């Protein structure tokens, strides 16, 4: 009986945990921006840029310069995070400095990111196998870890510490840090105050523009890290898309009511749906069902609609979210 349960959990551990980490990282990134009062639907585009830069770094470190894969993965994650932060500067400038419409600004980034990344890949990247320009950057197999002693813990060891990605532990660490930041630190309280009542925050001497810039930059950092993590965890190369995970992360953020722990819970739920979508033929629970594959493929998106419909009536969104701040109108 126990072995049967473990066989059911194996695909979930292998695929569900990495998906959960990606969704959680990007949703937590969106948390910083939206808690400061700036809508950020550019998470998809920022993920694309993070994945693109991460792929380029890993490719040139492993193929061109023959660095160890472990080192290349670390630098790929770091560079993806930095790229996401730099790319999000455009959204910060448009929405905070210029007081532009935040939805339009973010949509522009979502359209720009795949276009510029594919164009750059075709311009500078040559497929080593065909010696021709291509829009897909091929990278080596991902690097996985087995944690001594911890991998032998019943059930949990198989989920988290066996054949695990480095990004799994980074993601869990980020969750702890973000939770502490919003509950215990001055920065977290200032971000929340700027999202709830920026004029009151300004009257207390808080620089609302600076805090919102910080929120957007941290949002870009985590979304870029999520994009690089997705690339390393599930693909052998970058092809200009992250398959809608940025928008799914936004749904997780809304479903989680802009709270870190709730975001984690909904990331787990959506990751399980994603596993069913892509791995249903390897799950004993679904293997013998005669449902069309399209039913499984639409599960994450149907779940998104259902959850948003349920929790939208109890929305705890920041009160000033989406409202440009003008200090002269205080």
Domains of the chain: 2-329 (1.10.3470)
Is-contact 88 216, C-beta < 8 A? Answer: yes
Residue 192 pLDDT grade (very low, low, confident, very high; cuts 50, 70, 90): very high
Question: How many residues are listed for the chain in this entry?
Answer: 330
pLDDT tens digit string along 131-189?
555 656 767 656 677 777 777 777 677 767 777 888 889 999 999 999 999 999 999 99
Task: Indicate if the pLDDT at residue 238 is higher than 60.
Answer: yes
Q: What value, to the nearest 5°, has the Cα angle with vertex 250 and ends 253 and 316? A: 35
Task: Give the pLDDT confidence score for residue 185 in this predicted structure.
Answer: 97
Task: Indicate if the pLDDT at residue 111 is higher than 80.
Answer: yes
Q: What is the pTM of this model?
A: 0.92
* CA distances to 31, 41, 46, 227, 311 from 104, in Å: 19, 9, 15, 22, 25
Q: Provide the percentage of residues in the chain whose pLDDT is more than 90.
A: 53
Residue 279 pLDDT grade (very low, low, confident, very high; cuts 50, 70, 90): confident
Contacts (Cβ under 8 Å, ≥6 apart) of 174: 24, 25, 28, 222, 225
Would you state the structure tokens that stand for residue 150, as one six-digit string?
């911890």
92 vs 235, higher pLDDT: 92
Task: Give the pLDDT confidence score for residue 131 in this predicted structure.
Answer: 55
Chain mean pLDDT for the chain: 87
Segment among 41-50, 239-248, 267-276, 299-308 with least mean pLDDT: 299-308
d(CA 245, CA 129): 30
């Amino acid at each position: 009986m126990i072995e049967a349960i473990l066989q059911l959990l194996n695909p979930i551990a292998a695929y569900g945990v990495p998906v959960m980490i990606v969704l959680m990282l990007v949703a937590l990134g969106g948390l910083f921006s939206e808690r400061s009062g700036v809508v950020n639907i550019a998470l998809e585009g920022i993920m694309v840029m993070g994945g693109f830069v991460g792929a380029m770094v890993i490719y040139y470190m492993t193929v061109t310069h023959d660095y160890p894969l472990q080192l290349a993965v670390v630098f790929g994650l770091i560079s993806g995070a930095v790229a996401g932060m730099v790319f999000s500067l455009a959204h910060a400038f448009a929405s905070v400095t210029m007081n532009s419409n935040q939805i339009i600004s973010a949509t522009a980034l979502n359209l720009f990111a795949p276009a510029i990344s594919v164009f750059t890949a075709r311009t500078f990247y040559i497929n080593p196998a065909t010696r021709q320009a291509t829009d897909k950057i091929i990278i080596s197999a991902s690097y996985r870890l087995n944690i001594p002693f911890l991998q032998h813990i019943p059930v949990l060891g198989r989920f988290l510490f066996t054949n695990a990605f480095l990004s799994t532990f980074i993601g869990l660490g980020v969750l702890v840090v973000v939770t502490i930041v919003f509950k215990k630190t001055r920065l977290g309280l200032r971000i929340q105050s700027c999202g709830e009542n920026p004029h009151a925050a300004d009257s207390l001497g808080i620089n609302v523009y600076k805090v919102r810039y910080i929120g957007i930059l941290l949002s870009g950092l985590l979304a870029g890290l999520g994009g690089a993590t997705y690339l390393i965890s599930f693909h052998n190369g970058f092809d200009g898309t992250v398959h809608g995970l940025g928008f799914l992360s936004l749904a997780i953020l809304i479903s989680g009511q802009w709270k870190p722990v709730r975001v984690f819970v909904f990331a787990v739920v959506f990751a399980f749906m994603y596993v069913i979508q892509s791995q249903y033929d390897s799950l004993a629970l679904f293997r013998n069902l005669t449902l069309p594959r399209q039913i499984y493929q639409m599960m994450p998106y149907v779940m998104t609609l259902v959850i948003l419909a349920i929790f939208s009536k109890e929305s705890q969104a920041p009160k000033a979210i989406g409202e440009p701040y003008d200090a002269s109108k205080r």
